[in-house]
Structure 1
Amino acid sequence: MSDYSTPVTVLSGTLGAGKTTVLNHVLAESGDRDLAVLVNDMGEVNVDADLVAESSDITEDEEELIELSNGCICCELRGDLLDAIAELTHERQFDAIVVESTGVAEPLPVAQTLTLGFDQSDLDPTEFYEETGVEPLEHCHLDTTVTVVDAHQFQRAMEAEEVLDDDGTKKHLGDLLIEQVEFCDVLVLNKCDLVDEETLAEVEETVAALQPRAEIVHTTHGKVDPEAIIETGRFDFEAARQSAGWMQELQAEHESAEEEHGVTSFVFDARGPLHPERFADFLDSLSDDVVRSKGHFWLAGREDEALTFNVAGQSIRVGPGGKWLAALPPEEREAQLEAYPQLAEDWDDEWGDRNVLFVFIGVEMDHEAIRADLEDCLLTEAEFDEDWSTYEDRFPTFEYEPQDDAPEADPDAQEEVGLAD
């Protein structure tokens, strides 16, 4: 019994996807399994917790239900999340725990919290933890991450320009939806009864392209078999973090054949810099057929810094990607090349590691047209002799802190460029 570890399932999904309905069905059908529930809601009143209590025999009085309100467990309530987990597990009275995230929560930081606990560099131990000495993750483990997707509203959400407010942090609906899909072990396609077979197949093909590793489960009215999401043993942090479709496409370095419903992907790779004016125009007119795109690029006139590129639905963001190794002092550069020898394989004698690398995933994408447009964004041979500082650069600028380690992108620093403002 001393070696027992309580499995934890994290349930994610945008507002209205059906997370609470799924949770209530699992509670009703859990049989002899004794479940505890932790419900997170952004509001001061935890509406989802009330719905769980009303629709099941689970109660706060019996300490089976814990509410975390007025904040999000992927950011400001991470310490409270660990405290709640410690409360539920230190007496080891539950067979499993289900954490229902708020609709604006990103699953990756929640999983990181439930994997690293207070070892995260930016998370200080809470008063509860300091007073009790209870290690919050000592008697539990993250077992399964689940994302619930509304099959009926999926396409609309991807195309919507709606921006959600997460306690002052703006999150684009399509961007959030994709991040929830890209980091999960099980993907529950809910409300399948509201779409025809062809639409359902297209949605499934799209989410499978975004997250090839996830097991996809079809449901109506949230009726999912508890065995599909409780104590599955599917969670593996590194596998989950590395399994997004765009990352697998970059690693595979191939162009996918067109599937039945037109979901395809391809990689664009170039050594030269992008012209800032032409690339901004490219983003202004980026095809709606592109569902997801990520990568980094070299912008003419910015020879020191790499920039990151992130497209999710209608959201287009550009952010800092750190310094190119070629821009570092010789001693630092050599140290990094020694630490990361794979970077030397593609080293250019003149430009070093500066390059452009994008992956695109979409529906009915015209690969050749997008490739041609990107080729047109690259500097011409004649433009290499021009003064690049004279080009109009509408992209955001970023400040960099000195770093001892290899340069890394900071997703939180990305800025929405929309129509490349």
Structure 2
Amino acid sequence: MSDLAKIPVTVVTGFLGSGKTTLISHLLRNSGGRRLAVVVNEFGDVGVDGEILKGCALPDCPEDNIVELANGCICCTVADDFIPTIEALMALDPRPDHILIETSGLALPKPLLKAFDWPPIRSRVTVDGVIALADAEAVAAGRFAPSPAAVEAQRLADDSLDHETPLSEVFEDQIACADIVVLTKPDLAGPEGVAKARAVIAAEAPRPLPVIEAAEGVVDPRVILGLGAAAEDDLVARPSHHDGEAEHDHEDFESVVVDLPEVADPAELVARVERLARERNVLRIKGYAAVEGKPMRLLVQAVGARVRWQYDRPWGPGAARLGRLVVIAEHDDVDEAAIRAILAPEPQAVG
């Protein structure tokens, strides 16, 4: 890459649990010789997604090229976190050929695109494209993209639905800003669910968008990298519910970080995660745990009561064998004491 060429940036956005980290992990392993850098914006007090990605760092994207921004939503901390991070990545030697940005599941992409017009970076980077990931099964169920007519009918029947839910608003903004939509977990949705999800996205998108399916994050990098969209110069075609607002906040959402001692039985931990999803109406749980007698770290990912877990990598030499889970829920559903009591109950006294 010429020193005068702009570095392309791909923004990977999508709702909680849509598979952003899995997709980026696949891209790291299939870079096609590109020198990659990754910016991970974690919503919460600890960068779990960054730890996952650093665990699969490769020569084309060494660990030093993977940066976590854990101080809040990336679109709310542009001046304090995002701009200095991009400048630091551009100063790397060798310089990255391509930068991937994994946004928080709650981030609105359009304010982030506007940040690429900031004087310190606008002549040196360009938004190659915005990739929106959507869980096919969830979209098919209509959770994140209700039609205006259906919302109006519910409003007349129930005062509690007198406003659009924050979840649907975030989803719609992400679709509106996208260059390509990736439907994830199509195997769980089935052909009928995928067809329904495609119809929902087509109805919500402000313009025709290509929609592709991907299981386990497997997408040919040639399809989503090198789009040349220059999205920062195309904001008018990417409408947002928040156009005209100086900023947005996330008071509707809250996260709780729970540290875990070693667990004896992974199945028992998974059962606690499922119970928490049922009883406390949480949106997302992600993190890792240490299992007694196992040299590998246990990776845990949950969307609602659907839990996936696997051993992802060995514990590093001298690493404390402690687990950590991030729980994200809507503000009114957060009871930190109850969450901790379920995930990390105090041992019962004997005798």
Indicate the TM-score class for this superposition, using the shorter chain for normalisation: 0.5 to 0.7
Instruction: State the distance in 2 between where 1:35 and 1:191 align.
Output: 25
TM-score (norm. length: structure 1)? 0.48
State the partner residue of 2:38.
37
CA deviation after TM superposition for structure 1 residue 61, in Å: 7.1
Runs of 4 or more above 3 Å deviation: 58-62, 235-241
Distance 1:195 1:203, change over 3 A: same
SS of 1:31's equivalent in the other structure is coil
Q: Which moved more, 1:83-92 or 1:33-42?
A: 83-92
State the partner residue of 1:27.
28
Q: Which residue of the other structure, out of 161, 167, 171, is the alignment partner of 1:173?
A: 167
Instruction: State the distance in 1 between where 2:58 and 2:20 align.
Output: 18
Q: Which moved more, 1:88-97 or 1:188-197?
A: 88-97
CA contact (8 A) 1:42 1:69 kept: yes
State the partner residue of 1:66.
67
RMSD: 2.8
State the partner residue of 1:373.
none
SS of 1:195's equivalent in the other structure is helix
* 1:97 counterpart letter in structure 2: I
CA deviation after TM superposition for structure 1 residue 58, in Å: 6.7
CA contact (8 A) 1:8 1:231 kept: no
Distance 1:184 1:240, change over 3 A: farther
Q: Which residue of the other structure, out of 136, 143, 166, is the alignment partner of 1:157?
A: 143
CA deviation after TM superposition for structure 1 residue 136, in Å: 2.8
* 1:101 counterpart letter in structure 2: T
SS of 1:39's equivalent in the other structure is strand
CA deviation after TM superposition for structure 1 residue 86, in Å: 0.9
Distance 1:83 1:58, change over 3 A: farther
Give 5+ residue unaligned stretches, structure 1: 119-134, 162-169, 248-293, 295-314, 316-421
CA deviation after TM superposition for structure 1 residue 196, in Å: 2.1
* 1:75 counterpart letter in structure 2: C
SS of 1:152's equivalent in the other structure is helix
Q: Does 2:96 match 1:94?
A: yes
Q: Does 2:186 match 1:184?
A: no
Instruction: State the distance in 2 between where 1:58 and 1:19 align.
Output: 21
SS of 1:63's equivalent in the other structure is helix
CA contact (8 A) 1:152 1:194 kept: yes
SS of 2:64's equivalent in the other structure is coil
State the partner residue of 1:371.
none
Instruction: State the distance in 2 between where 1:97 and 1:2 align.
Output: 15
Equivalent pairs, count? 222
Instruction: State the distance in 2 between where 1:59 and 1:52 align.
Output: 13
| Structure ID, larger Rg | 1
* 2:181 counterpart letter in structure 1: L
Instruction: State the distance in 1 between where 2:236 and 2:196 align.
Output: 24
Q: Does 2:11 match 1:10?
A: yes
Percent identity between matched residues is: 29
State the partner residue of 2:341.
none
Instruction: State the distance in 2 between where 1:18 and 1:34 align.
Output: 22
State the partner residue of 2:218.
223
State the partner residue of 2:109.
107
**More relative contact order in 1 or in 2 (CA 8 Å, sep 6+)?**
2
CA contact (8 A) 1:9 1:98 kept: yes
Q: Which residue of the other structure, out of 116, 122, 125, is the alignment partner of 1:137?
A: 122
State the partner residue of 2:267.
none
Instruction: State the distance in 2 between where 1:6 and 1:171 align.
Output: 37
CA contact (8 A) 1:52 1:58 kept: no
SS of 2:9's equivalent in the other structure is strand
SS of 1:74's equivalent in the other structure is coil
* 1:157 counterpart letter in structure 2: R
Q: Which residue of the other structure, out of 228, 236, 242, is the alignment partner of 1:241?
A: 236
SS of 1:157's equivalent in the other structure is coil
CA deviation after TM superposition for structure 1 residue 242, in Å: 2.3
* 2:222 counterpart letter in structure 1: E
CA deviation after TM superposition for structure 1 residue 59, in Å: 10
CA deviation after TM superposition for structure 1 residue 235, in Å: 3.7
CA deviation after TM superposition for structure 1 residue 195, in Å: 1.3
CA deviation after TM superposition for structure 1 residue 76, in Å: 2.6
Instruction: State the distance in 2 between where 1:223 and 1:60 align.
Output: 18
CA deviation after TM superposition for structure 1 residue 96, in Å: 0.3
CA deviation after TM superposition for structure 1 residue 232, in Å: 1.2
Q: Residues 199-278 of structure 1 correspond to what in structure 2 (within 5 A)?
A: 199-211=193-205, 212-237=207-232, 239-242=234-237
Distance 1:222 1:60, change over 3 A: closer
Give 5+ residue unaligned stretches, structure 2: 152-163, 242-251, 253-351
